[in-house]
Amino acid sequence: MRAFLMGAVFAAAILGSGVADAKGCLKGALVGGVAGHVAGHGALGAAAGCVVGRHQANKKDRQQQANPNGQPSPQ
């Protein structure tokens, strides 16, 4: 039952986001799934990896929009 519920939540997260939102999610889900499998929680690792991968892709997109020339921002 728990595996079914986790699969349903993961599927809803994937299907609920558009195709453009998959950027970062697939690679993160793959890495998280492998790491989670080693720890005995593959589906949970894949879901967490998807979330983290998507966050990192959004962060990179925001940085590229702030600096379209690719120059580092002054700190």
Q: How far apart are CA 63 and CA 40, in angstroms?
A: 35
Mean pLDDT of all residues belonging to the chain = 75
Read off the pLDDT of residues 9-42 as tens digits, 9 standing for 90 and up. 666 666 555 555 577 888 888 888 888 878 888 7
pLDDT of the residue at 70: 62
Residues of the chain above pLDDT 90, percent: 0
Task: State yes or no: pLDDT of 69 exceeds 60.
Answer: yes
The model's confidence at residue 67, banded by pLDDT at 50, 70 and 90, is confident
Q: What is the DSSP letter of 17?
A: S
Measured in degrees and rounded to the nearest 5, phi and psi for residue 24 equal: 90, -30
Contacts by 55-64 with C-beta closer than 8 Å and gap 24+?
55/24, 56/24, 56/28, 57/23, 57/24, 57/25, 58/24
